[in-house]
Amino acid sequence: MALSVTALSPAHEVANFDCGTDELNVWLRDIASQHMKKHISKTYVLVNDDEPGKILGFYALAIRAMTPKEELPLAVAKKLPRNVPGYTLGRLAVSKAMKGRGLGADLLMNAMDRVRAAAEYVGGYAFFVDAKDAQAAAFYAYFGFAALPSDPLTLFMPIADFPK
């Protein structure tokens, strides 16, 4: 099965996607396209090249508002300007049928590659994620993201620390 990640388009069957979390399903179905049209965020979908309309997983990226350095761990913050630019992983989900195959990790790495490429053009210090719960936060922590001291569900990784 050859898989690829592409920008969400009307050809993708958003109504049939089910990751097991209604909030994420509804966001993909009802909000993702609107956010893309308004340039709020961009959603990318994972598909099987043999069934390109069927969504196996997705993630959304957005520019993050400047983060005050006081929100970051002290060891990191002391080296930075008062406000820190970055990117946000707004959503990430894998369909129930495809869970347990490492596709969440694949989507995260794909998102990191896109952020790295964007940062080459416009800069940006870190990649932030707003985890929906402690289990999701643990997933990101496994890949090296660190929680903000003030909010354990908001994690970040300096772009310079991304895996090569």
Give, as one character, the DSSP assignment of residue 162.
S
Taking domain 3-161, whether its CATH number is 3.40.50.300 is answered by: no
Amino acid at 33: S
pTM for the complete prediction? 0.93
Dihedral (Cα; 13, 14, 20, 25), 10-degree rounding = 180
- Can you give the pLDDT at residue 86? 96
Q: For the chain, give the mean pLDDT.
A: 95
Among this protein's residues, is 140 annotated catalytic?
yes
Q: Which of 44, 59, 87, 140 is catalytic?
A: 140
pLDDT in tens, 42-51: 999 999 999 9
Does 156 or 75 have the greater pLDDT score? 156
pLDDT in tens, 139-163: 999 999 999 999 999 999 999 999 9
